[in-house]
Amino acid sequence: AIADSGAPTIFDKIIAKEIPSTIVYEDEKVLAFRDINPQAPVHVLVIPKLRDGLTSLGKAESRHGEILGNLLYAAKLVAEKEGILDGFRVVINNGPTACQSVYHLHLHVLGGREMKWPPG
Ligand code: 5GP
């Protein structure tokens, strides 16, 4: 279990393109790239380019409403681009108990296989 230290994360280096990633979608505020350890045929991470205190969803405040909406809409665009609009899952792991390992808010967009419920 990894706790939130508030330190910059590897995602800052991915945003700055100091570390390579396979980008699926990008706009002014949002970056989406393939997870390095995919848990499904499609596994894309959607992140805000500016973390702005959003180490995790649990840190969200009213002022974050617009970026949170942008992230969710970007998840839909990713699903569309990846051809999984008919069946995909969006996941946010929040905190050590939920297996969050990178403290820069990110949505997991998963699809391309049958998804079980509950996820475990
Ligand atoms: P979490 O466990 O915090 O919800 O998800 C973090 C995700 O980031 C994991 O699925 C992990 O595989 C992914 N990840 C960690 N480091 C890198 C990296 O350097 N590049 C990419 N593309 N994904 C990463």
Residue 67: CATH number of its domain: 3.30.428.10
Asked, for residue 3, whether it belongs to a domain, the answer is no
Asked, for residue 60, whether it belongs to a domain, the answer is yes
pLDDT at 94: 98
Model confidence, pTM: 0.98
Asked, for residue 119, whether it belongs to a domain, the answer is no
Nearest CA residue ID for atom 21, ligand 1: 36
Segments in the chain below pLDDT 50:
none
Q: Is the CB of 97 under 6 A from ligand 1?
A: no
Q: Is the CB of 35 under 6 A from ligand 1?
A: yes
In what helix (H) or strand (E) does residue 70 lie, and over which residues does it extend?
helix 65-81
Q: Is the CB of 23 under 6 A from ligand 1?
A: no
Q: How far away, in angstroms, is 66 Cα from ligand 1 center?
A: 24
Nearest CA residue ID for atom 20, ligand 1: 36
Asked, for residue 2, whether it belongs to a domain, the answer is no
pLDDT at 120: 77
Q: Is the CB of 93 under 6 A from ligand 1?
A: yes
Asked, for residue 84, whether it belongs to a domain, the answer is yes
Enclosing domain of residue 102: 10-111
Instruction: Mark 59-97 as b/e (b = at least 16 C-beta within 10 Å).
Output: beeeebeebeebbeebbebbbeebebeeebbbbebbbee
Asked, for residue 37, whether it belongs to a domain, the answer is yes
Q: How far away, in angstroms, is 25 Cα from ligand 1 center?
A: 17
pLDDT at 64: 98
Q: How many domains does the chain have?
A: 1
The answer to whether the beta carbons of residues 11 and 104 sit under 8 Å apart is yes
pLDDT at 82: 98
Asked, for residue 117, whether it belongs to a domain, the answer is no
Asked, for residue 36, whether it belongs to a domain, the answer is yes
Instruction: Please tell me whether the interface predicted TM-score (ipTM) of this complex is above 0.90.
Output: yes
Q: Which residues are catalytic?
A: 106
